[in-house]
Structure 1
Amino acid sequence: MLQVLHLQNPLSYEAGLALQQQYVDALLDGSGPETILLLEHQPVYTIGRLRDQSSLRDSTTLPYPVVETNRGGQATYHGPGQLVGYPILDLNTRSKDLHAHLRKLEDALIHACAAFGVEAGRRDRLTGVWVENRKLASIGVGVRKWISMHGFAINITQESLPPFFAITPCGLDGVSMSCLETEAARTISVSEAAQVVELELRKLFG
């Protein structure tokens, strides 16, 4: 059984991480089901555990806190106007293939964008979801005993974009970040987008 939980109030990144770990533990000991958390975070920059953290540029001048995390990838931003999804799934019973897991997350978001009339896709050798050279969604996952955690962040409203200007998103120079409502040329709420994203995730992960 797969449950999808929509959290209504923005969480701190630390609270979101603790919640993920709670559901990972429950899945590992058999006391809980696979779970996908859909939420917004309070403003924060995150970065994977890397020696090269140059994508943060100058962390002393950033307007929001920086949290080092155990996902893959360079610096990104989370905050209001962005939908974050944390699929906590048992890859032991699905597929021990992280690349396939990443591609499924991309597929779900690409299909969700299509539901809003936005033609999104992939770019060669670059994880995430794009419209031409504009990045809509970032993806970074981690696993513990083949239980997945972390996941995706898709920019929904224009409110989500300005904090990206202070970093090099995902370590990619020259990348332009965009959001779903800009590409769709209409107002889209995070809750509206979350309903569509849930539908697409359920199609792929059951």
Structure 2
Amino acid sequence: MAVSPLPALDTYSEQNSSFTVKHMGLVAYETAWQAMKDFTRTRTSLTSDEIWLLQHPAVYTQGIAGKPEHLLVDSNIAVIKTDRGGQITYHGPGQIIAYLLLDIRRLKLGVRELVKRMETAVIHLLNEYQIKAHGRKDMPGVYVDAAKIASLGLKIKKDCCYHGIALNVDMDLKPFSAINPCGYTGLEVTQTKDLGIEDDLDVLSYKLSDYLQKELVNKGPDISL
């Protein structure tokens, strides 16, 4: 594994033939967001695609179509209006964030197919632990029964994407009760710890990265969403 620092972020990297995977630790949302925009703005046709794995301090993020009424109560947690799709969600320590900085034209992926493959990667990860998960056509993300365990949002710019997917692992879920998660009233949320998965965030980060890379490069087994 090649180890290299990313300026301004405490990072180490692993490089394979298709992707650079960067493990960044705990990063402020605004810092990561600006870094994604800078990366996408300056990338060229020769730039390697990257997957960034990290956590955020407690923050609510509201997508470009986000409605303020989905924040149900006042909170001391900041709300940041961002440029991804979707409504409002919560990020905090103990949640894996996988940001995908991809040239989707080079990967020959449409947005809908990309979303499905992101969801499928999480579904395969949970299946490894005998947890049956699924996607929903009407509500992007990954669900166990009726509870959401992973949310996603993307920004597409000049055939490239950034933002990505968030998987709840071992976090304080109470801040979700102050919002309609992803804009849906009464939507329950869950996490891997509460489903009996004992592997920690580091182990699950590596596994999620592997599943994402496989799905992005080669179409895996079909999973009905």
State whether structure 2 residue 143 is matched by structure 1 residue 130: yes
Q: Match for residue 14 of structure 1? A: 30
TM-score w.r.t. length of structure 2: 0.84
Of residues 96, 101, 124, the one that matches 1:83 is 96
Read off the aligned partner of 2:199 and give its amino acid letter. Answer: I
**Contact 1:45–1:67 (Cα < 8 Å) also in 2:** yes
State whether structure 2 residue 212 is matched by structure 1 residue 201: yes
Q: CA deviation at 1:51?
A: 6.3
SS at match of 1:193: helix
Written as runs of structure 1 = structure 2, the 5 A alignment for 1:8-47 is: 8=25, 10-27=26-43, 29-30=44-45, 32-47=47-62
Q: Match for residue 167 of structure 1? A: 179
User: What are the Cα deviations for residues 54-92 of structure 1, in whole angstroms up to 9, with x where unaligned?
Assistant: 11124xx11310100011111100110100011101012
Q: Match for residue 92 of structure 1? A: 105
User: What are the Cα deviations for residues 6-46 of structure 1, in whole angstroms up to 9, with x where unaligned?
Assistant: 112x111001102212321342x346311010110111000
Q: Give the number of the structure whose residues are more often helix, by fraction.
A: 1
Q: CA deviation at 1:196?
A: 0.8
**Could you say if the C-alpha distance between residues 118 and 98 of structure 1 is closer, same or farther in structure 2, counting changes exceeding 3 Å?**
same
Read off the aligned partner of 2:23 and give its amino acid letter. Answer: H
User: What are the Cα deviations for residues 100-157 of structure 1, in whole angstroms up to 9, with x where unaligned?
Assistant: 1100100011111112221111124111000010110001111110111011111001
User: In 2, distance between residues paired with 1:31 and 1:163?
Assistant: 41
| CA RMSD of superposed structures (Å) | 1.5
User: What are the Cα deviations for residues 159-190 of structure 1, in whole angstroms up to 9, with x where unaligned?
Assistant: 2411111111011111110001111x143321
User: In 1, distance between residues paired with 2:125 and 2:180?
Assistant: 26
Read off the aligned partner of 1:34 and give its amino acid letter. Answer: D
SS at match of 2:99: strand
SS at match of 1:176: coil
User: In 2, distance between residues paired with 1:112 and 1:33?
Assistant: 25
Percentage of matched positions with identical amino acids = 29
Of residues 63, 70, 77, the one that matches 2:83 is 70
User: In 2, distance between residues paired with 1:39 and 1:189?
Assistant: 14
SS at match of 1:109: helix
Runs (5+) with no aligned partner, structure 2: 1-17, 218-225
Read off the aligned partner of 2:30 and give its amino acid letter. Answer: E
User: In 2, distance between residues paired with 1:205 and 1:3?
Assistant: 13
Moved more, 185-194 or 63-72: 185-194
